[in-house]
Structure 1
Amino acid sequence: MGKPFEPPGDREGIESVELKAALEERYLAYALSTIMHRALPDARDGLKPVHRRILYAMRLLRLDPGSAFKKCARIVGDVIGKYHPHGDQAAYDALVRMAQDFAQRYPLVDGQGNFGNIDGDNPAAQRYTEARMTEVARLLLDGLDEDSVDFRPNYDGQEEEPVVLPAAFPNLLANGSQGIAVGMATSIPPHNAAELCEAALYLIAHPAATSEQLTTFVKGPDFPTGGIVIDSAASIAEAYRTGRGGFRVRARWQREDLGRGAWVVVVTEIPYGVPKARLIEKMAELLTERKLPLLADVRDESAEDVRVVLEPRSRSVDPVVLMESLFRLTELESRIPLNMNVLVGGLVPRVIGLSEALREWLDHRRTVLQRRSRHRLAQIERRLEILGGLLIVYLDLDRVIRIIREEDEPKAELMRAFSLTELQANAILDTRLRSLRKLEEMELKREHDALTAEKSDLDALLGSEPLQWKSITQQIRAVRKTFGPETALGRRRTTLENPPDTTGIDFSEAMVEREPITVIVSQKGWIRTLKGHVADLSAVAFKGDDSLKLGFPTETTAKILVLATNGKVFTLDAAKLPGGRGFGDPIRLMVDLDEGTEIVTAWPSRAGTRLLMGTSDGRGFTVPVDGLVANTRKGRHVVTLEDKAVVSHCIEVGDGDHVVACGDNRLLVVFPLNEVPEMARGKGVRLQRYRDASLAYLSVIRLAEGLTWPDSAGRTRAVVGEELAKWVSHRGTVGAMAPRGFPKTNRP
């Protein structure tokens, strides 16, 4: 091995560090910085540092709700210059989002100018837009000057910024939060503030309340763009209990009649976070690609409100089916994740549930109340000390005036003569002569009494936890009144509903444009379709020595069932079958058909019908078509076979009441259909008994109409009534020789 690398030159002052340890240390520092100072919100005020700094800078600029607007460039300049040393565009983007009423349930910034729109258009540059705080932002900052929260030095140590805001508004859940950190993320949808206040009040009265109990008040998210949440109450409760989950949100729509049977669907609310322009663009693309067969056109007729018009392909389309198909393929339905990963106490990232999130806010409000009360108490005590000195002075004003006029050190002499503190002496020396009136003395006494009473109340408040919670309850009730359901901003926008019952709707059929076709199956198992219902198939060409096996009319929305000789039934979508001028494709390429297995027959599935299955050894049973449809290439195994028997017949029962079976030995038997059991799967029962023969013909007839078949001349021959009695027996019998004129092939 070679010698280890040594840096050239003087090694003094150089410290060797292992690369692995250095990378771990630096990456951990980066991860912690991202988690703490960028991506995750504080559970107490629901804000990330950039939002907190924007609001604090706006407060210092005195941009209160009733004040004049100021340029956003001025706000951004203060934010990045004093508190947030990042790019101006990043800070402006955060400011813009705080002002967008379609992004924030309760906007924190009142914007003037172009702040973007629900279509996804960008806002104007920061030099053109203006902003000020909203009432919600004022509540978050209320009490900031009263020592209610801690402050810390800014990035250069020349200014101070709050660690957290007092937050008199439940902002974490009311406005929600989104963020991606290193190794963790947060996603909290917005909620209704009035419901959160009611839940918080219940939590104050019942400290042990669980998240499930609080869902009585907090029904679910309340998005600024409205919409409909279609999750069950149980799944919503589970999401709030664990802090993880998601919500399915659908657009709100209504059918609008145009007269004469014509109608359109009008979408008035779209899911949260979906740009309307992108939604319509994607729908238009799917429409062009013919993936939305039930939809004819989509138009955006929105002005201030959302109005997206969806025109159906035809009047016969069910609007529920149309919308359900659109919900499946477009962003008219989206899933909003819930991941309540927040900084608990401003330090520890943790996923919390609904009850813990509200508890964090309530505990913070109690801390703020205590700190504000202590701050006010200190102010009162200082003022009472000053008032006490002033009242002493009023007892001997002449002596006070003499000391001030004659003594070289009046403050020290006042303190000695009247036993005053330095604060009291300074207050006396600062008092103007015109204030030394009898009326002022009475005013001071009244102020002293009022402050003494207030001090007594604050002492009682700080010494009693129930009184503290009572005060917090009054504050929360005031917030609830401000943002109650009767107000325009507080009214719930997102409703919780059960989706319509779609169990009876075949969406694979609904998503295909209904057109008439003719399905053709060749003797060698090739399948294809022709457009329209073709009655004469004599001109259809086949590959090589192949020929027509069967053909039948159906529609593109149908399911085609294919029966194989091994007793399996396979399902093909008619819309996916090859068409055009070619010879089609082998069925073997579409399903898993065993080697040596042949196609017996194929037919379009019709719900509610029954089929009679027959095997070469004369066994059979009836089976409902509804149980034959399979969704995989492997198909559904229906008939169980013995020895070398194969499935040879499949007949639709229809309204027949008797079964006709004939072997290749020309023995024929007729017996009641009710002697054949209905089964979902099995080998069936004996239909006709053979010694050295197999089943050649199987049919279901109405006994009153008799047995009919065409002869070689094209005439219809029939055996009816008493003539047919010779062959009527029970299943499992040998039968009698077929009627005269019955085809020699034993297959009419």
Structure 2
Amino acid sequence: MGDFHPHGDAAIYDAMARLSQDFTIRYPLVDGQGNFGNIDGDNPAASRYTEARMTVMAEALLNGLDENAVDFRPNYDGRLEEPSVLPASYPNLLANGSSGIAVGMATNIPPHNIGELINACLHLIKSPNAVDDTLMQYVPGPDFPTGGVIVEPAENIANAYRTGRGSIRLRARWHVEDLGRGQWQAIVTEIPYQVQKSKLVERIAEVIQIKKVPILADVRDESAEDVRMVLEPKSKNVDPDVLMNALFRNTDLETRFSLNMNVLIDGVTPRVCSLKECLRAFLDFRRDVLIRRSKHRMAKIDNRLEVLEGLIIAFLNLDRVIDIIRYDDDPKAALMYEDWSKPHQATIVRATDESDYQSPLAGIDVKALELHDDPNAVARGVLLDEDGPATIPRRFSGRSEGLSDVQAEAILNMRLRSLRRLEELELVNERNALMEERAGLEDLMDSEDMQWGQVKDQLQEVKKQFTKDYDRGQRLTTFAEATETEDVPLEAMIEREPVTVVCSQMGWIRAMTGHIDLNRELKFKDGDGPRFIFHAETTDKLLVFGSNGRFYTVMAANLPGGRGMGEPLRLMVDLPNDVEILDIMIHRPGQRLIVASSAGDGFIVPEDDVVAQTRSGKQVLNVRTPTRALVCKPVTGNAVAVVGENRKLLVFMLDELPEMGRGKGVRMQKYKDGGMSDARTFTLEAGLSWQDPAGRTRTVTGEELAEWTAKRAGAGRMAPRGFPRDNKFN
């Protein structure tokens, strides 16, 4: 926090905890000890209760960081330096995925299997012009840490990888568990990526409660370390595929992962890239890292060779070096400015045995030196002389100029233990090995083919480390075709039973079992009373028409039971408090409705078009305050009767009204003052009927109606004698 990330310990700890969650990260970068959260969505423990260290995957991201593999930049306050990017040994951007949002742009990259990614990289090295479809043979799709089953068609995934955008359909993994005697239950063992199990169970329980999937009886979470969700069907005769497909449609047992591969290829400019472009960028980066590490290694070798050259000169001139160090006031300067190519006298000590000694620096046999007694021999060895130490002239091989500062410092720092004979062999062997390594690095720097071969070898080593022997190396997410079943109507899932729907004046609705007497006295809350009561069945859809011109749909099976007072209808659908419930009716497919507003505008609408799919309902009749919806009745016959608040009645033919799905409608009757009071449809030949104040039914025949029959949008004439005082037909 004090050096690299000045955003507080909470942000740092949350990020670190996330990197250790194997249900969030495909290849965790942090090895955590303690409570680091779980798939239910529980938070990690406080930082004082947990410990963490890097995993081998994280270490692989850092390989070469100390070898000048990447550029460094100042940290936030300029005191230190930090890498601008890590010298990753594998494409972590694709292996672990990434998601985020910035100003005006976002990215969402799914995790992948590292073995498949490396196979695609190896193919791209071999065939640089490979097309995206060929890479799909190596990377068939994402590999999510929570497993699951991808049911997206392969051509859609290929198009997403080709364009960098798309969506991938992911389902939970499940199987049927046989309980004997025909009983069974569905077991979910893997859930989709980024879905919290606890919330998923809550959603399934809610689906059961509102009877959205009536064939599901219960859900239980029996998970321990692994995921185990038990789904019990309502009947053993239920088809498992039908049950699961209904849950896939209504819960997060099926999700879609939106792929948006928006990345910074050059580190600056955001661009949506294909899979091939991302892999190509990674390979070019790995080659650049290889070249930089090779140059760094060559510099280290050159530095070491310089030191070795000085040490070898010291061993060739050991006695003289000792004399300089022992007697000179400034030994470092003397070593640096001495001419090491001049001959000197050297003392050779007595041999401890008569064995041959081969000097690795001069290559002269000591016995041969004894026989020839060559005063110009270039050697430092043991002279076999029984009379004691002997002094012979010798010439020191070396450089005519003095030693460098580095060489002189290395000689002065050399320990006495290093003066043993075998050290000469070690120095020469090290020098030869380093020179051979340097030659290999020079060849590597000069050959692009060798560079790609080295990148290939590194990738194969990473693949070997993180696939076969790695705990999470195998693919977790599998592929399958979506087992789609025909959309079973909700009514088909509900057991058909008779009910009596009761709705009070205050909008409390309930469904009483069976078809009871509609005139039976029922209990309501204080100050409330009956408003709507009719017979229905549990498989019926109920249409609720509000004064705002919207239709709402409620399933009769979802209504509360009749033991209590019911529940407010406004809580079951999004019906505003200032909207009056005008009518509740049973949906009859194929039937038509006449709808009209208080301003006298209306039209005919097919009943199938008013069924709403959401709680917010469906707007059909457009009204604007103070106008409100007034009439909603089934269409029967061939004529329309309209009566206004001025008690004027107008009859016109039904075909003058247009059939629409939504709108304000057309003028049905013209008014100078007030508005519409009621409207209905009837058969002109049978006449228009209503009940008079005495409860008797009066009918005006077609011939008598000629006085009130006119074209639509007329003013009409005063209603016949005996017409109800409330200006209502019913």
Category of TM-score, reference length = shorter chain? 0.5 to 0.7
Instruction: Tell me the secondary structure at the aligned position of residue 231 of structure 2.
Output: strand
Q: Which residue in the other structure is 1:191 paired with?
A: 112
Q: 1:506 aligns with which of 488, 491, 496?
A: 488
The offset of 1:403, in angstroms, is 2.4
Q: Which residue in the other structure is 2:339 paired with?
A: 417
Q: Which residue in the other structure is 1:450 paired with?
A: 433
Q: Contact (CA 8 Å) 1:530, 1:580: kept in 2 or not?
A: yes
Q: 2:450 aligns with which of 441, 444, 467?
A: 467
For the pair 1:321 / 2:302, whether they are aligned, the reply is no
Number of equivalenced pairs: 502
Alpha-carbon distance in structure 1 between the residues aligned to 2:69 and 2:586: 79
- After TM superposition, the structure 1 = structure 2 runs for residues 282-293 of structure 1, keeping only pairs within 5 Å, are 282-293=203-214
- After superposition, the C-alpha distances for 1:608-637 in whole angstroms (9 at most, x for unaligned) are xxxxxxxxxxxxxxxxxxxxx996459xxx
The offset of 1:95, in angstroms, is 0.1
- After TM superposition, the structure 1 = structure 2 runs for residues 490-569 of structure 1, keeping only pairs within 5 Å, are 490-502=473-485, 504-510=486-492, 512-517=493-498, 557=539
Q: CA 1:267–1:234 in 2, change beyond 3 Å: closer, same or farther?
A: same
For the pair 1:489 / 2:464, whether they are aligned, the reply is no
Q: 1:298 aligns with which of 215, 219, 227?
A: 219
Q: Which residue in the other structure is 2:297 paired with?
A: 376
For the pair 1:140 / 2:61, whether they are aligned, the reply is yes
The offset of 1:290, in angstroms, is 2.2
Q: 1:427 aligns with which of 381, 385, 410?
A: 410
- After TM superposition, the structure 1 = structure 2 runs for residues 29-40 of structure 1, keeping only pairs within 5 Å, are none
For the pair 1:91 / 2:12, whether they are aligned, the reply is yes
The offset of 1:276, in angstroms, is 0.6
Instruction: Tell me the secondary structure at the aligned position of residue 470 of structure 1.
Output: helix
Q: Contact (CA 8 Å) 1:514, 1:555: kept in 2 or not?
A: no
The offset of 1:284, in angstroms, is 1.5
The offset of 1:206, in angstroms, is 1.1
Alpha-carbon distance in structure 1 between the residues aligned to 2:320 and 2:113: 66
For the pair 1:479 / 2:400, whether they are aligned, the reply is no
- After TM superposition, the structure 1 = structure 2 runs for residues 326-341 of structure 1, keeping only pairs within 5 Å, are 326-341=247-262
Match for 1:167: what amino acid?
A
Match for 1:278: what amino acid?
K
Percent identity among equivalent residues?
A: 54
Q: Which residue in the other structure is 1:437 paired with?
A: 420
Instruction: Tell me the secondary structure at the aligned position of residue 45 of structure 2.
Output: coil
Q: Which residue in the other structure is 2:177 paired with?
A: 256
Alpha-carbon distance in structure 1 between the residues aligned to 2:67 and 2:558: 76
Q: Which residue in the other structure is 1:638 paired with?
A: none
Match for 1:468: what amino acid?
Q
Q: CA 1:485–1:533 in 2, change beyond 3 Å: closer, same or farther?
A: farther
The offset of 1:241, in angstroms, is 1.0
Instruction: Tell me the secondary structure at the aligned position of residue 169 of structure 2.
Output: strand
Q: CA 1:586–1:175 in 2, change beyond 3 Å: closer, same or farther?
A: closer
TM-score by length of 1: 0.61
The offset of 1:593, in angstroms, is 4.3
Q: CA 1:220–1:168 in 2, change beyond 3 Å: closer, same or farther?
A: same
Q: CA 1:305–1:108 in 2, change beyond 3 Å: closer, same or farther?
A: same
Match for 1:303: what amino acid?
A
Match for 1:474: what amino acid?
D
Q: CA 1:574–1:379 in 2, change beyond 3 Å: closer, same or farther?
A: closer
- After TM superposition, the structure 1 = structure 2 runs for residues 177-326 of structure 1, keeping only pairs within 5 Å, are 177-326=98-247
- After TM superposition, the structure 1 = structure 2 runs for residues 63-102 of structure 1, keeping only pairs within 5 Å, are 80-102=1-23
Q: CA 1:176–1:580 in 2, change beyond 3 Å: closer, same or farther?
A: closer
For the pair 1:360 / 2:281, whether they are aligned, the reply is yes
Alpha-carbon distance in structure 1 between the residues aligned to 2:219 and 2:463: 41
Q: CA 1:398–1:329 in 2, change beyond 3 Å: closer, same or farther?
A: same
Query: Which range moves more in the overlay, 210-219 or 391-400?
Result: 391-400
Q: 1:104 aligns with which of 17, 25, 29?
A: 25
The offset of 1:232, in angstroms, is 0.4
Q: CA 1:580–1:319 in 2, change beyond 3 Å: closer, same or farther?
A: closer
Query: Which range moves more in the overlay, 111-120 or 246-255?
Result: 246-255
The offset of 1:199, in angstroms, is 0.6
Structure 1: give runs of 5+ residues left out of the alignment.
1-79, 521-528, 543-552, 561-571, 597-628, 635-645, 648-748
Query: Which range moves more in the overlay, 413-422 or 324-333?
Result: 413-422
Q: Which residue in the other structure is 1:585 paired with?
A: 585
Q: CA 1:507–1:586 in 2, change beyond 3 Å: closer, same or farther?
A: closer
Alpha-carbon distance in structure 2 between the residues aligned to 1:239 and 1:344: 18
- After superposition, the C-alpha distances for 1:638-667 in whole angstroms (9 at most, x for unaligned) are xxxxxxxx99xxxxxxxxxxxxxxxxxxxx
Alpha-carbon distance in structure 2 between the residues aligned to 1:376 and 1:530: 83
Q: Contact (CA 8 Å) 1:578, 1:584: kept in 2 or not?
A: no
For the pair 1:402 / 2:384, whether they are aligned, the reply is no
Q: Which has the larger radius of gyration?
A: 2
Alpha-carbon distance in structure 2 between the residues aligned to 1:125 and 1:227: 31
- After superposition, the C-alpha distances for 1:199-229 in whole angstroms (9 at most, x for unaligned) are 1111111112222221111111111111111
Q: 1:163 aligns with which of 84, 100, 114?
A: 84
Q: Contact (CA 8 Å) 1:592, 1:633: kept in 2 or not?
A: no
Instruction: Tell me the secondary structure at the aligned position of residue 306 of structure 2.
Output: helix
Q: CA 1:218–1:414 in 2, change beyond 3 Å: closer, same or farther?
A: same
